[in-house]
């Protein structure tokens, strides 16, 4: 069996991920998602924490920072993103360790904004080195 890990980054990625996992559950029943939700500010992920499918995700899969990147690539990549990248990579590593044959990553994000563009760029750099 081949496994993929879904990584949902920033407001757009988290909202897409929430909708995707809701649809997967409606189509195929309950699942245990191999997914990580990351945003530099907690508002959107708090909606996942309190939403209809809150029991679907382990709290360790929902990672938030304290302040957003303010639609600034540099803040997402070089300053605020640097504070949270090690935690995110550790959670991804834990999910990858549970896989028998990790096939790859599905990354959901936007190209605009600071988290979607800047933090995702930082994350992709790290993932390309580690995997």
User: Which residues span the domain enclosing 69?
Assistant: 3-130
Q: Reading across the β-sheet that carries 62-64, which strands appear in turn?
A: 62-64, 35-39, 3-9, 102-108
What element of type H or E holds 122?
Answer: helix 120-130
| 115 in Cβ contact with 70 (< 8 Å) | no
Indicate the number of domains in the chain.
1
pTM of the model: 0.94
Question: Per-residue pLDDT for the chain (131 aa), expressed as one digit of tens each?
Answer: 689 999 999 999 999 999 999 999 999 887 789 999 999 999 999 999 999 988 999 999 999 999 989 999 999 999 999 999 999 999 999 999 999 999 999 999 999 889 999 999 999 999 999 99
- pLDDT of res. 105: 97
CATH number for the domain spanning 71: value is: 3.40.50.1440
Task: Report helix, strand or coil for 104.
Answer: strand
């Amino acid at each position: 069996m081949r496994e993929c890990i879904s990584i949902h980054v920033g407001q757009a990625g988290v909202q897409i991920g929430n909708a995707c996992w809701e649809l997967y559950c409606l189509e195929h029943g309950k699942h245990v998602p191999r997914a990580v939700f990351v945003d530099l500010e907690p508002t959107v992920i708090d909606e996942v924490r309190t939403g209809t499918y809150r029991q679907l995700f382990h709290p360790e899969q929902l990672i938030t920072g304290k302040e957003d990147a303010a639609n600034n690539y540099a803040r997402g990549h070089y300053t605020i993103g640097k504070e949270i990248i090690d935690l995110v990579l550790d959670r991804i590593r834990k999910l990858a360790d549970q896989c028998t044959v990790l096939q790859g990553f599905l990354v959901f994000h936007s190209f605009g904004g600071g988290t979607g563009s800047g933090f995702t760029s930082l994350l992709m750099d790290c993932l390309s080195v580690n995997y």
